[in-house]
Chains A and B, each alone.
Chain A
Amino acid sequence: GAGVSQSPSNKVTEKGKDVELRCDPISGHTALYWYRQSLGQGLEFLIYFQGNSAPDKSGLPSDRFSAERTGGSVSTLTIQRTQQEDSAVYLCASSLDQGLSGYTFGSGTRLTVV
């Protein structure tokens, strides 16, 4: 597609449930990033995928968070046993290389845990 696509755009879930967030990057972009943005805050790095290299998972806040990138394209961020503090907008970005020419962000998934 022309841009980075994220789904769903909004997700309301009950505390303790698992959720999956999907990111479809721009075709041909080798790098993919997940960020989290809480209300009124900056972007918090979560995880980075680059080609076939091992992902940088250093930003994942707990072991309830995990992410996969299948076939070097679509990525899924999974949050297990969701907590209220997980409520935020989850943003995905992709770039052609390591981001020197700029990242393209999706519109995000707004997650609300009730």
Chain B
Amino acid sequence: DAKTTQPNSMESNEEEPVHLPCNHSTISGTDYIHWYRQLPSQGPEYVIHGLTSNVNNRMASLAIAEDRKSSTLILHRATLRDAAVYYCILRDFEGYQKVTFGTGTKLQVIP
């Protein structure tokens, strides 16, 4: 079960970009990198995922290091609604894997 490590907390000013890091040094070649976020009193919601190339969607961008041992979730302009816990997890595309969500990064957005 490949592990990920993230900082416990980060702060950002409103309307500024935020870069949330994730280390996954034991990632295997068949692991996708997924990001979820959990708003207060809600279940986690899917944000983005990728394998090797950088990915963009309406919510965020995902930058993946060339060696795939780390990745960064980028929120281009933080809003107060982005204050949440962000989780980085790995999903093996070759088969079922019991996924563990760690404690994630708690993002505080300062008005």
Contacts and interface: CB of A to CB of B under 8 A. Distances in A.
B98 interface: yes
- The DSSP consensus for interface residues of chain A is loop
Contacts of B100: 42-45
Contacts of B41: 107
Given A105-B43, A108-B43, A56 B101 contact: no
Contacts of B95: 98
Interface residues of B, number: 23
Interface string A97-114: 011101111111000000
Interface of B: 32, 34, 36, 41-46, 49, 87, 91, 93, 95-104
- The DSSP consensus for interface residues of chain B is loop
Nearest to B49: A102
B91 A100 contact: yes
B34 A105 contact: no
Given A42-B87, A42-B104, A100-B91, A59 B98 contact: yes
B44 A99 contact: no
Contacts of A43: 44, 87, 100-101
A45 B102 contact: no
Nearest to B34: A102
Interface residues of A, number: 25
Contact of B32 (A4, A100, A104, A107): A100
A41 B85 CA distance: 11
A48 B42 contact: no
A35 interface: yes
Name which of A41, A44, A91, A103 has the most chain B CB atoms within 10 A of its CB: A103
A52 interface: no
A56 B46 contact: no
B93 A102 contact: no
B103 A41 contact: yes
A106 B99 CA distance: 17
B43 A106 contact: yes
A50 interface: yes
